[in-house]
Structure 1
Amino acid sequence: MLRTEDGGYLWQTCAIPPGSEKLDFRGVQAFDENTAIVMSSGPGDQSRLYKTTDGCQTWKLVFINPDKDGFWDAIQLEPLRTGYLNGILIGDPVDSNFAIFITSDGGNNWRKWGRNGSGWKGPCGERNAKAANGEAIFAASNQSLLFSTSVYPEFLFVTGGKSRARLVSSNYSEWDGPPCSTSFMSDRLDFGGGGSSSGAFAQAITKWDGWLPEKVMVVGGDYTKPEEPSRTSLLIQKTGFHVPFSSYFENPVIAQTQPHGYRSSVAYDADQKLWITVGPNGTDISTDDGKNWRPLTPSPTDPADADKNWNAISLPFVVGPHGRIGRLRTIDQKAAVTKKP
């Protein structure tokens, strides 16, 4: 793990959490310059959370996956407000229900969300997040999950696997049954053909509009077929004021020109008013809300592979395997956008 205090010009090596040398870390959430939580992904107790309060000089183990058949995929936290829910952790299904945990104290303690746990009550009471047969979540970029407490605690997550991809909301879903069966799951979220290696991998929004996102961009595909460009992005947007999230699917934006391969991460750059998405075989941008995507290629001053081999975006940074880090430049619409530090 690395840490920067100057926008990415210099990087410091962090201490390794004790006993974690062989773990696969997939998610990191920072509260300030000294406080952060990192999540490892793996079967059973290989899924763990560690917290630092001294700028990653030392780490404390705060949570181990209690499900021996579980696998954690994403974590999202917001700044602590005393007494309020401020974090969500989600994993693959256990006993046919997605494993969801919540925290109200900055990640020091976690409890299960759902009918049998201590989740908050929605319009139809506490709920379990029922998974379809063969459905799963991908841990590629820590972007399968979105979370906000702007008005009410709300989280969204995207799925994939053999059952086909879905977008799921904590406030309105078929988990509740009648009269709260306002489902917005749809075969329009069709990424890569419904195999175990395909589905929706990441999502990003323009902004939260009350307790609902204004626009949601979903990207994915089939990670075993990184060059396959068919149905790798989809934009979902609100069509009215204070409508249930199910109506987002009334007019989805399916790209006429798709990103040119499987994509594992996406972000919205509000300053440049564009979407950017990355994957193993390249980088794409869209300036028309996902109607059309075009690939970016390196400029003469960039490394030849500056557009490739990326896994996740957290603006202004993009990261890839083996410690690869890039920093987003202002896009002039003709030059490449990433460079190695």
Structure 2
Amino acid sequence: MAVGLCAAALAALTVVPAQAHGAQRPAPHWQLTDSGTDARFRGLSAVSRDTAWLAGSKGTVLRTTDGGTHWRNVSPSGAADLEFRDIEAFDARHAVVLAIGEGEASRVFRTDDGGATWSEAFRNTDDRAFYDCLTFFDRRHGLAMGDPVDGKFRLLSTSDGGRSWTVLPSAGMPAAQDGEAAFAAGGQCLVASGPHDAWLATGGAAHARVLHSADRGLTWTAADTPLPAADPARGVFALAFRDRTHGIAVGGDYRADQPSPRAAAVSGDGGRSWTSAAEPPPAYRSGVTWLPHSRTDALAVGPTGTDLTTDGGRTWTTVDTGSYDTVDCAPDRGCWASGEKGRVARLEPRR
């Protein structure tokens, strides 16, 4: 019953005119909140309708515990020169944030007191490495991924909630294509579902691929996707898996003056194969999330708007034209989106 009600409510996002009276049905919508900053927030972690964390430019980390009415600046001390691109929060007090960049610019921090203090858990010392995204299987086990070094994507692993990190052996990682990399665009180039499965998204090479691991990052298999490729600006930018079988990939070409046909694809076999969406989003998308407690509904976001699917990613309808880089939902159906110029919004229910 709950699944059906959720699907019905979210389907109303399309704002289809009511046939009987010619009036539009009220629908859930993004409600902007005042973040108090102009930072660009590509990192987002939704804990609930009340609690969410943001990570962005100029070393900025924000947290709300009252549904976005107030945002508290909980940025790590001395981090103003860092670019935070991903954050994973376990609750209102515990979170792990990733800074990207070459060499020592790539770092991981953890807080256990709501951002009052942070500890530096990892600092990259390899000038060839550039980390892009992180994910957690549970409160203890997680991965962080970086662009290829010596021809293979680099993985970090933690088993203590992000307090310490170890570079994983590369023997189980397939060779990278020439020019292949990940996009640190919305914190969703590395995702997990369940206790062991993880997927990473790639682009910039001949084929836009998704790599899958069923053993927490020790071994990986690669699959081509139909998303735009063969250019450094094209590929898969974000992934979402509602379980270990059903996944959605979105992306395209991030350049505003370039089209992005086939900007979404779906998988029903755990990422072993991908099929183009029959009606994809109309432009590049950098974030995607399944709606909680639904087997069919998901949202995708990008600089030109938000799209809704109610059939598992096969067809998409644009429901908002605001600019967002990433989107995330919590189990209690609290959904958030964030992006440029301090933009952050919560999805408000139908009234």
Matches of 1:196 and 1:7 in 2, distance apart?
38
1:236-285 deviation line (CA, Å, top 9, x unaligned): 003xxxxxx57x42xx4422221010000011113464111010011111
Check if 1:161 corresponds to 2:204: yes
Per the TM alignment, residue 46 of structure 1 is displaced from its structure 2 partner at its CA by 0.5
Change in 2 beyond 3 A, CA 1:205/1:323: same
Q: How do residues 308-323 of structure 1 correspond to structure 2 at under 5 angstroms? A: 308-315=322-329, 316-323=335-342
Q: How do residues 141-290 of structure 1 correspond to structure 2 at under 5 angstroms? A: 141-150=186-195, 153-171=196-214, 184-186=222-224, 189-207=225-243, 213-225=244-256, 228-238=259-269, 245=270, 248-249=272-273, 252-271=274-293, 273-290=296-313
8 Å Cα contact 1:191-1:222 kept in structure 2: no
Larger relative contact order, structure 1 or 2 (CA cutoff 8 Å, min sep 6): 2
**TM-score, reference length from structure 1:** 0.77
SS of residue paired to 1:322: helix
Per the TM alignment, residue 17 of structure 1 is displaced from its structure 2 partner at its CA by 1.6
Change in 2 beyond 3 A, CA 1:113/1:183: closer
Structure 1: segments with no counterpart, 5+ residues = 116-125, 177-181, 208-212, 239-244, 298-306, 333-341
| Runs of 4+ with >3 A deviation | 78-81, 270-273
Equivalent residue number for residue 43 of structure 1 = 102
Per the TM alignment, residue 184 of structure 1 is displaced from its structure 2 partner at its CA by 4.8
8 Å Cα contact 1:226-1:280 kept in structure 2: no
SS of residue paired to 1:160: coil
**Identity rate, percent:** 33
Check if 1:112 corresponds to 2:155: no
8 Å Cα contact 1:144-1:159 kept in structure 2: yes
8 Å Cα contact 1:200-1:218 kept in structure 2: yes
Matches of 2:179 and 2:275 in 1, distance apart?
27
Equivalent residue number for residue 115 of structure 2 = 56
Matches of 1:183 and 1:11 in 2, distance apart?
41
Matches of 1:289 and 1:147 in 2, distance apart?
18
TM-align CA RMSD: 2.2
Per the TM alignment, residue 40 of structure 1 is displaced from its structure 2 partner at its CA by 0.7
SS of residue paired to 2:341: helix
Matches of 1:128 and 1:255 in 2, distance apart?
28
Per the TM alignment, residue 192 of structure 1 is displaced from its structure 2 partner at its CA by 2.4
Change in 2 beyond 3 A, CA 1:183/1:36: closer
Matches of 1:127 and 1:162 in 2, distance apart?
21
Equivalent residue number for residue 324 of structure 1 = 343
Change in 2 beyond 3 A, CA 1:214/1:45: same
Per the TM alignment, residue 149 of structure 1 is displaced from its structure 2 partner at its CA by 4.8
The residue identity in structure 1 corresponding to 2:188 is Q
Equivalent residue number for residue 8 of structure 1 = 68
Matches of 2:155 and 2:121 in 1, distance apart?
16
